[in-house]
Structure 1
Amino acid sequence: MHPDLVLLSARLLDPLTGGPLPHTALAAGGGRITALGDDREVRALAGPATAVIDVRGAVVTPGLVDGHTHPLSGAERTMGVDLSGCADLAAVREALARESRALAPGAWLRGWGLDPNVFGDRPVTAAALGPVLADVPAAIDLFDAHSMLASPRALDLAGIDGPRDFAQSSQIVCDDEGRPTGLLLEDAACELVEAVMPRPTAAEIRARAAAVLRGMAAAGLTGGHAMDANGDSLSLYAALEEAGDLALRVRVAPWCQPGADAGAIAGLVRTQGTGGDLWRVAGVKLFMDGTIDNGTAWLERPDCHGESAHAFWPDPDAYTRAVAELHREGVPTATHAIGDAAVRHALDSIEKAQAGTGERAGSPRHRIEHIETVPDDTVRRFARLGVAASMQPTHCCEFTRADHTDNWSRRLGEERAARAFRCRDLWDAGATVVLGSDWPIAPYQPLAVMAGARHRRPSRDLTQPPHGPEQALTPLQALQGYTLSPAWAAAEEDRAGRLAPGHRADLTVFAENPLTVPDEDLAELPVLLTVVNARPTHRAPSL
């Protein structure tokens, strides 16, 4: 049988060693790499229907996989005005005013990517954004997607006039007189406003999602570990695949929220393995805390505002029981844990779950997401327990500062801010470090994330000093964080993450070797070709 795809004149890069493979050509068919060899022998395998592409000396790596992303919920969330590039309140007000002037009467003003650092030492309130929000229903997502600023009109439409109690750690922030300031923390509070907001149509969401996935493919991504499956996500993945618009291979982890009973957990177990050719439910996402910027992380000592002292699950032992049940059923878990207490409790729970079943072949590989500040003893536990450390270096680069004058660092204080995003320490301790973007929290371009892992500087100004340069990864480690590491975390190292016969034909092709391009230039390295399942999903005009 002839291959579906042949690549010629290639430099094939081994992500295990960082060196070149002794081949110049690759053939793929049936979604797998079928042959490696020289141009002459591989070209001879091609048939009339084979796509033969001469990459003219370009560098081919295994396809890049974003270890933590939200492609569908992010597609909908980013349909408002993008505030991520606004460096101060004046810029935010101007962007919102410009968007407001274009609205139809009665329409909602939506925004996303608002950085709390623009408020400086001022409280994060709707009033701080000025009169632009005075007369319109508005919902502005902060960058972390764990908080929202709602205008007075939006609060009124949602019936929010004071504090409320929630089953999870959420809050309607109020002033000293009990009046809402507009700041809503965590899902349960934000959902009160989202429930009365108009939603885009299914067709609009699908079109936007397809466009986002095409953009991800053009950036070199061949896959993503999607950390949600809310609403109609699963049927949308199916529709996108049927239409030929699913440009990435997606591994989906639905949420398990506080209050989940045995029936809810059993339902999550039943969904495992469902999906299509390019998407599959595999794992469950849980939350152990919120975010440091909001004061909703779970720290072993409260932050400098006296906050971040509680778990997201009001009963942390209930989380432990949920992890144990999922582990018994062979379901891998991915736990959002940012603060040191949250990470420690997640590791404790995984250790108890493993002890409850004993060592056995095929045990699920658990992972912890974010891990923004942890002490030495916690770092050492990841490798011992076989827990993957899923991290997003650009969260450090873009939202914190080396001098600790940013909101995240000020809240933590010097000791904990000095152990920020310990990618290298975890790597050196033997943990599997998976890299990702957490899009739409930060841009999804994988080269920018890999560059941030290497230089630890803000992309908007690479002359700034790095935050924790001792935590920088090497070029090879950064590449492995997007290839070998996500394959291991998914228990797919026997069929993904390498350029070898029998492995998936998911490939990323670069104009130059990403391991030798300077750190500061890596984000601009051209992606010439992206291949998923032996099918090109992006091809540069120059190729």
Structure 2
Amino acid sequence: MRRPTLALLLAAMQIAGGSALAANSVPVADAIWFNGPIITIDERQPDAQAVAVKDGKILAVGDKQQVLKNQGPATRMLDLKGSTLLPGFIDPHGHVSMVGFQAASANLLPPPDGANNSIPKLQETLRNFEQQSPIPAQFGVLFGFGYDDSQLQEQRHPTKFDLDAVSQDVPIAIVHQSSHLGVLNGKALELAGINASTPNPEGGVIRRIEGSQEPNGVLEENAFFTALVKIFPKLTADQAVDMLSAGQKLYISYGYTTLQDGRSSPDQVRTAIKAAGDGKLLADIVSYPDILTKGTKELLVAPWYHPTNQPVVYNQHLRIGGVKLTLDGSPQGKTAWLSQPYFKPPQGQDASYAGYGVVKDEDVLAIYKEALANRWQILTHTNGDRAIDQLLTSMKAAEKAYPGVDVRPVMIHGQTLRKDQVAQLKQLKIFPSLFPMHTYYWGDWHRESVLGPQRAENISPTQWVLKEGLKFTTHHDAPVALPDSMRVLAATVNRTTRSGYVLGPEQRVTPLQALKAMTLWSAYQHFEEDRKGSITPGKLADFVVLSANPLTVAPATLNDIQVLKTVKEGQVIYERPAKVAQLPPSFGMHGDPSLPTPPGIQAVAQGDGDLGPALDVIYDKLAPAQP
């Protein structure tokens, strides 16, 4: 047997030594977050002392000394200084494109998000916006967003006569906070082609002056949507991107790193595609175009859409997640489809009025079958329990035709979800995205006018869902309400109305459960639980930094917590300044206005689109105050 030579022994020792060094080497982090509570939303490691990030993903989580092994000479050490780090919030239902429209409209919201508690105040706001903003002149229409008849002293909708008192020459259109109703003045009705001989469209109502067929200006559902399309100005591609960017700005100021456009028109999808191509998307956007709108199906192609049996893929922060179907309206607007009559029927309706559906049963079934056949995830708007019955019955029939095909369908809102319907959701694998934020904004209205004291107690019944073994998500439906993450959290935990009444105390959940609904469970809803929703090694470094720990503060103070930073794949995309500039109350952008201007805004302001200068005026007013 030959003895190994000295050279061979030395070579073997070098190889062994090199292997040992490789085994002991630790990847060097780009950044390490430390010195504050870290809520991971990962049950295997609920909290941590430090988080390391590399190449936009989470590298290590846990004990500070262990994570510091990933520190290198170039690692950025990010001191939380006692603030709290969580996974970035994932929007389970909202309309980011419409939030951009809200930013270009007069702010007609009631307190605490606006100042409109009467029709004279609303008229004053519209007049001020027309005088202060260049947008109405450039649009050729004066838009207002967010009025709420339940919060007006008059306890009624404004009419065309109220808006004509602002102007008879300028078309005026105001949008109800629910976005399911609106009011047009006489000029806008004329442009929309609505008069005494115009019939109600299918799935919509033109309200009339009592004793005649003359429209009073209030339009419901499809009547309003159709009119809005006719009077809405044609935007250039750059103008539309500006509007989307305005919505994105507001979302990220509240800690959202994944945004939803939950009922996109084909044009809004094309705008998002342009924004992605222009590099203007700071956060991820998941779009669900309206399946009832012509042109939607043609959009469901790569690279923007991939069927549910394929991996999730974003293209420059954008993907199409599936489609949206709307089966009824709004409970606070009294257009939701209930199985029992409204507690107090709206104007012009008798005591048997229970709202109405907007899509025929046979059409719903056909859409669900098509969704399963093509593996489209489908979101279904159902506020009333009768609309939920339509969802359940139709989905059950569709699944018989396509057994075993799971597209993780989502029930959106489910505000009047009955207890007997929850088990059916579980059986059909329908994911509930609930709206407990309504307990704050409209809980009193539900008790006093919409549903009555008994039915109102169990709107958005989160505990019924949990006890059935289901996950749920909790949303804001912006621009119906601001995309205020802490208001969502507080309402889900406390269920306290504007008046201080606790609506359905047995439906309250813990702060941790509510946070899961805004992070990990929302990631699951979007088929993204393997890459988002918790601070877990290998997932994206999407974070939000809060001023206090939601798990330790008094639940009543949850809404006082501020978002300090929003982090997308390791990069800070929003940081709250020490001082915040104040907007005139008539302007439409709300929340913290110190938002980073997406690249390209200044180019638009220099003449690439007529809307650019108008929005740039808003952005100038939104700039942070100098210290």
Say whether the fold is shared (TM-score over 0.5). Answer: yes
What CA deviation, in whole Å up to 9, does each residue of 1:459-515 have, x standing for no partner? xx5x62122222222111111110121111112222221211111211112232111
CA drift of 1:422 comes to 1.7
Give the one of 410, 425, 431 matched to 1:367: 410
CA drift of 1:425 comes to 2.0
Counterpart-to-counterpart distance in 2, 1:483 and 1:122: 38
- Checking the alignment, whether the CA contact within 8 Å between 2:163 and 2:185 is kept in structure 1 is no
- Checking the alignment, whether the CA contact within 8 Å between 2:494 and 2:555 is kept in structure 1 is yes
User: 1:527 maps to what in 2?
Assistant: 563
Amino acid at match of 1:79: A
Give the one of 356, 365, 369 matched to 1:310: 356
Does residue 142 (structure 1) correspond to residue 176 (structure 2)? The answer is yes
State how 1:85-234 maps to structure 2 within 5 Å: 85=114, 86-102=116-132, 107-117=140-150, 118=152, 120-122=154-156, 124-128=158-162, 131-162=165-196, 164-165=198-199, 168-175=202-209, 176-199=211-234, 201-234=236-269
- Checking the alignment, whether the CA contact within 8 Å between 2:263 and 2:290 is kept in structure 1 is yes
Give the one of 56, 60, 67 matched to 1:31: 56
Give the one of 443, 456, 475 matched to 1:417: 456
Counterpart-to-counterpart distance in 2, 1:63 and 1:101: 39
Post-superposition, which runs of at least 4 consecutive aligned residues in structure 1 deviate over 6 A?
103-106
User: 2:41 maps to what in 1?
Assistant: 15
Does residue 287 (structure 1) correspond to residue 326 (structure 2)? The answer is yes
CA drift of 1:299 comes to 1.8
Does residue 393 (structure 1) correspond to residue 418 (structure 2)? The answer is no
What CA deviation, in whole Å up to 9, does each residue of 1:414-472 have, x standing for no partner? 443343222222222222211111001001111111111122224xx5x6212222222
- Checking the alignment, whether the CA contact within 8 Å between 2:365 and 2:394 is kept in structure 1 is yes
Amino acid at match of 1:431: L
Q: Which moved more, 1:192-201 or 1:491-500?
A: 192-201
Counterpart-to-counterpart distance in 1, 2:501 and 2:373: 46
- Checking the alignment, whether the CA contact within 8 Å between 1:402 and 1:465 is kept in structure 2 is no
Q: TM-score, normalised by structure 1?
A: 0.88
With over 3 angstroms needed to count, the CA separation of the structure-2 counterparts of 1:264 and 1:254, relative to structure 1, is closer
With over 3 angstroms needed to count, the CA separation of the structure-2 counterparts of 1:33 and 1:103, relative to structure 1, is closer
State how 1:244-255 maps to structure 2 within 5 Å: 244-255=279-290
User: 1:482 maps to what in 2?
Assistant: 518
Counterpart-to-counterpart distance in 1, 2:163 and 2:466: 41
Higher Cα radius of gyration: 2
Counterpart-to-counterpart distance in 1, 2:232 and 2:523: 39
Counterpart-to-counterpart distance in 2, 1:25 and 1:404: 46
Report the aligned-residue RMSD: 2.8
Does residue 445 (structure 1) correspond to residue 494 (structure 2)? The answer is no
Counterpart-to-counterpart distance in 1, 2:174 and 2:424: 38
Give the one of 308, 322, 335 matched to 2:367: 322
Counterpart-to-counterpart distance in 2, 1:101 and 1:215: 24
With over 3 angstroms needed to count, the CA separation of the structure-2 counterparts of 1:324 and 1:277, relative to structure 1, is same
- Checking the alignment, whether the CA contact within 8 Å between 2:206 and 2:223 is kept in structure 1 is no
**Number of positions where the alignment pairs a residue of Structure 1 with one of Structure 2:** 528
- Checking the alignment, whether the CA contact within 8 Å between 2:172 and 2:185 is kept in structure 1 is yes
Q: Which moved more, 1:483-492 or 1:235-244?
A: 235-244
Q: Which moved more, 1:392-401 or 1:35-44?
A: 35-44
- Checking the alignment, whether the CA contact within 8 Å between 1:292 and 1:308 is kept in structure 2 is no
With over 3 angstroms needed to count, the CA separation of the structure-2 counterparts of 1:197 and 1:484, relative to structure 1, is closer
Counterpart-to-counterpart distance in 1, 2:537 and 2:60: 6
Q: Which moved more, 1:184-193 or 1:120-129?
A: 120-129
Give the one of 344, 348, 352 matched to 2:389: 344
Amino acid at match of 1:56: K
Counterpart-to-counterpart distance in 2, 1:511 and 1:142: 33
Does residue 515 (structure 1) correspond to residue 551 (structure 2)? The answer is yes
Counterpart-to-counterpart distance in 2, 1:121 and 1:540: 37
User: 2:581 maps to what in 1?
Assistant: none
Counterpart-to-counterpart distance in 2, 1:208 and 1:264: 21
Amino acid at match of 2:438: H
Does residue 468 (structure 1) correspond to residue 513 (structure 2)? The answer is no
CA drift of 1:103 comes to 6.9
State how 1:422-441 maps to structure 2 within 5 Å: 422-441=461-480
Counterpart-to-counterpart distance in 2, 1:454 and 1:298: 27
User: 2:542 maps to what in 1?
Assistant: 506
Q: Which moved more, 1:441-450 or 1:533-542?
A: 533-542
Amino acid at match of 2:254: A
Counterpart-to-counterpart distance in 1, 2:146 and 2:382: 21
- Checking the alignment, whether the CA contact within 8 Å between 1:137 and 1:154 is kept in structure 2 is yes
Q: TM-score, normalised by structure 2?
A: 0.77
Indicate the SS of the match to 2:93: strand
Indicate the SS of the match to 2:281: coil
With over 3 angstroms needed to count, the CA separation of the structure-2 counterparts of 1:78 and 1:191, relative to structure 1, is farther
Does residue 60 (structure 1) correspond to residue 90 (structure 2)? The answer is no
User: 1:79 maps to what in 2?
Assistant: 104
With over 3 angstroms needed to count, the CA separation of the structure-2 counterparts of 1:43 and 1:123, relative to structure 1, is closer
Counterpart-to-counterpart distance in 2, 1:493 and 1:193: 38
- Checking the alignment, whether the CA contact within 8 Å between 1:382 and 1:388 is kept in structure 2 is yes
Q: Which moved more, 1:39-48 or 1:113-122?
A: 39-48
Unaligned runs of 5+ in 2: 1-26, 307-312, 579-627
Give the one of 391, 400, 422 matched to 1:379: 422
CA drift of 1:394 comes to 2.0
